[in-house]
Amino acid sequence: MIPQSKIDEIIDVARIEEVVGDYVSLKKRGANLLGLCPFHQEKTPSFTISPAKGIYKCFGCGKAGNSVNFIMEYEHLDYIPALKFIAEKYQIEWPELQISDEALAEEKRKQREKESLQIINNFAEQYFANILHADEEGTAIGLSYFEERGFRPEIIQKFKLGFAKDSWDHFTQTAIAAGYSQELLMKAGLIKQSEQGKIYDAYRGRVMFTIHALSGKPIAFAGRFLKPDPKSPKYVNSPETELYHKSNELYGLYFARNAISKSGYVYLVEGYTDVIQMHQAGVENVVASSGTSLTENQIRLIKRFTDNVCVLYDGDAAGIKASMRGIDMLLEAGLNVKVLLFPDGEDPDSFCKKQGPLGFSAYLDENKQDFIRFKTSLLSADAGSDPIKNAELIKDVVQSIAKVPDAFKRSGFIKETSIALKVEEQLLITEINRLLRNKLSQQANTTIPAPDDQPLNYEAEIKQLLDVQVHDHQEKDIVRLLLHFANLPMEGYRNVAHFILSEIAQDEIEIENPVVHEILNEIHKQLEAGEVDMQKLVNHMNPDISRFIAEMLSLHYEISPNWEHKFDILIDKLEDKYLEDIDSAMNRLKLKNTEKLIKLNKEEMLKAEQDGNIELITNCLKVHQHLMEQKSQLSTKPGTVIF
Ligand code: ZN
């Protein structure tokens, strides 16, 4: 654990304008600094630094945070590594961690093993490249293979392609002579032992692809066999090691990361050569899942860079259907998924070669289509006029739509699918509701009632239920008000913060957004110690909190496009009516909470009905009546807008 005082020291020394200034050229604008956003493409600057608040905010793409958030975002680092990165840059002493001797020893052993494996992989990468370029067999077989595929020399260099000689132990001998231990070479999967105990090269007569970590270091290899041989696998891959976890890596991400950030888009392909060929065609925002089906960790990795994925398919129908489950996972993660199909018999590699860079990029732009639309048209071509197949098709498409977490997107897809398949919208809604209800019931570990007679109301019910989970305007609004007015006077209370926290505690309002929850806890602590200093939260050691606060702090800018001029006026206006604002925000929060309680009570009532528990039913009815009264009181208060 890094102490908060250390974090404060680092952020204090590393001024936001200096940290960002190393990456972005900034110009002074009043009290702030302005530059071109490094996270999206723009011609007029909308990336703003507030040195006084210690935050940045882009009015183009919405990215916001403190200096640590900036380094996390720009260098693609986690929180602690980002802090360390800044500490090193500004020569701030990094604290030694206090952990138990045992854990420390194990951690050190793992670290040493990782470092050793890294050194061995560096050596192997260099060896395979040397063989490819300087060895007779390497150039005759390996290099000529890559050249036949149309790979240019600079691309072969960039991706560190290589070759392993078709020899029993040429690599083994070279590595051992260079002083590398047999045990670690074995762990790295570079050498193997036969049943007779003889040591031999794991990759023999194969062209070599290096798999790089996000840092660009070689962490694994894949060797492709060139001769068609039913006894040998086409690819041999590195085993799992301390350094390499297959399900956490995407091939090509190191080379693609900046292009993904700039374009806000990533192409997902299957093979190593697809990635390389597309780079050659100038499309650099591309990664491969390396033949395996997508994992949750890989999807999380993609989400760190972008929400927009386009999956490229070669024109093989069986392959497409097999990978549709992976796409459902992408949808479920909230990603926007497009797909693109290549003509029959073509894959990105072959198609790139045929079309050349310009034709290829144009094909990508013109032929991307939305996944749901793609799936619908693909399956309906399959089903023809067969009614049973058509029923299955509808179920199948509906299943994908139900995975989309965003209710608005879902309803768009429903409309579109209803037109494409000539099915009534209501039918699709009912089916999707059924799936969502099952999922929610599983999550909530309870049965959610299904009023069969009123499908339309039911949809609203489900929607509302989902809204409770995702909509937290009311909670965010409370944080916004605290940020601006926490220490201002409030009649009967120490200050505004004291009032808000007391109200929340008194009404037992459960805060659902975990970030808001933690922020309120912090404010509570500060309040007990004296004054509330919201600015302190900008440096909070939870990066989600600092990012959230930076967003909230820059919110009032967004109200006015000419914030430079209007900033002061706006604040005056806000302060003028802060009491009114706080009152209505608290009302909205209470209203939301009451609605939630009503829902929970209804569920309990339904269960009681099923169990025939008369006493409980009566009790629930009383609670219901009370809550409904409370709701109507809250709704009629002035300024309570119902979202
Ligand atoms: Zn931006």
CATH assignment at residue 150: 3.90.980.10
Q: Are 628 and 598 within 8 A, CB to CB? A: yes
* C-alpha 41 – ligand 1 centre gap (Å): 7
* C-alpha 161 – ligand 1 centre gap (Å): 35
User: Residue 46 corresponds to which tokens in the numbers above?
Assistant: 């909308």
Model confidence pLDDT, tens digit, residues 434-476: 787 777 666 555 454 443 333 333 444 444 444 444 446 778 8
0.75 exceeded by pTM: no
How far, CA to CA in Å, does 347 sit from each of 278, 321, 336, 416, 425?
A: 11, 16, 23, 29, 36
CATH number for the domain including 275? Answer: 3.40.1360.10
User: Residue 331 corresponds to which tokens in the numbers above?
Assistant: 């949808």
- 477 with 623, same domain: the answer is yes
Distance (Å, whole) CA 277 – CA 411: 38
In a domain, 251, yes or no: no
Distance (Å, whole) CA 349 – CA 492: 72
* C-alpha 310 – ligand 1 centre gap (Å): 22
- Boundary (domain end) residue, out of 320, 341, 367: 367
In the chain, how many domains are there?
5
* C-alpha 357 – ligand 1 centre gap (Å): 28
* C-alpha 16 – ligand 1 centre gap (Å): 16
Q: Which residues pair with 251 in a beta bridge?
A: 288
How far, CA to CA in Å, does 598 sit from each of 581, 584, 592, 607, 632?
A: 26, 21, 10, 14, 12
How far, CA to CA in Å, does 127 sit from each of 38, 147, 170, 227, 257?
A: 37, 20, 11, 22, 27
CATH number for the domain including 63? Answer: 3.90.580.10
* C-alpha 78 – ligand 1 centre gap (Å): 20
- 141 with 84, same domain: the answer is no
* C-alpha 234 – ligand 1 centre gap (Å): 44
* C-alpha 83 – ligand 1 centre gap (Å): 22
- 388 with 357, same domain: the answer is no
**Residue 354 Rama label (left phi>0; alpha psi -120 to 50; beta):** alpha
In a domain, 461, yes or no: no
3-state DSSP call for residue 204? coil
In a domain, 266, yes or no: yes
- 211 with 349, same domain: the answer is no
- 486 with 611, same domain: the answer is yes
- 298 with 392, same domain: the answer is no
- Boundary (domain end) residue, out of 319, 341, 367: 367
Q: What is the pLDDT of residue 576?
A: 55
- 572 with 480, same domain: the answer is yes
Q: Environment class of residue 172 by beta-carbon count within 10 Å: exposed (0-12), middle (13-18) or buried (19+)?
A: buried
Q: Environment class of residue 513 by beta-carbon count within 10 Å: exposed (0-12), middle (13-18) or buried (19+)?
A: middle
* C-alpha 14 – ligand 1 centre gap (Å): 22
In a domain, 457, yes or no: no
- 343 with 394, same domain: the answer is no
In a domain, 642, yes or no: no
* C-alpha 523 – ligand 1 centre gap (Å): 30
* C-alpha 560 – ligand 1 centre gap (Å): 18
- 600 with 566, same domain: the answer is yes
Q: What is the pLDDT of residue 122?
A: 96
Distance (Å, whole) CA 197 – CA 212: 32
* C-alpha 428 – ligand 1 centre gap (Å): 38
* C-alpha 265 – ligand 1 centre gap (Å): 14
In a domain, 643, yes or no: no
* C-alpha 237 – ligand 1 centre gap (Å): 39
- 163 with 235, same domain: the answer is yes
- 185 with 263, same domain: the answer is no
* C-alpha 306 – ligand 1 centre gap (Å): 13
Q: What is the pLDDT of residue 555?
A: 57
Which residues of the chain have a pLDDT value below 50? 446, 448-471, 556-574, 640-643
Helix 67-75 / helix 79-89 crossing angle, nearest 10 deg: 110
* C-alpha 436 – ligand 1 centre gap (Å): 35
* C-alpha 45 – ligand 1 centre gap (Å): 9
Distance (Å, whole) CA 324 – CA 329: 9
For residue 138, what are the contacts with CB-CB under 8 A and spacing of at least 6?
A: 130, 131, 132, 163, 165
Q: What is the pLDDT of residue 568?
A: 36
* C-alpha 38 – ligand 1 centre gap (Å): 7
- Boundary (domain end) residue, out of 244, 267, 300: 244
Q: How many residues in the chain?
A: 643
* C-alpha 57 – ligand 1 centre gap (Å): 8
In a domain, 94, yes or no: no
* C-alpha 467 – ligand 1 centre gap (Å): 28
Residue 181 C-alpha from the chain's centroid: 39
Kindly provide the b/e burial profile for residues 485-497, where b requires at least 16 CB atoms within 10 angstroms of the residue's own CB: bbbeebeeeebbb
For residue 183, what are the contacts with CB-CB under 8 A and spacing of at least 6?
A: none
- 390 with 435, same domain: the answer is yes
Distance (Å, whole) CA 589 – CA 595: 10
* C-alpha 354 – ligand 1 centre gap (Å): 36
In a domain, 98, yes or no: no
* C-alpha 58 – ligand 1 centre gap (Å): 5
* C-alpha 255 – ligand 1 centre gap (Å): 21
Q: Domain containing 115: what range?
A: 111-244
Supply angle C-alpha 62, 68, 74, rounded to 5: 60
Distance (Å, whole) CA 224 – CA 205: 9
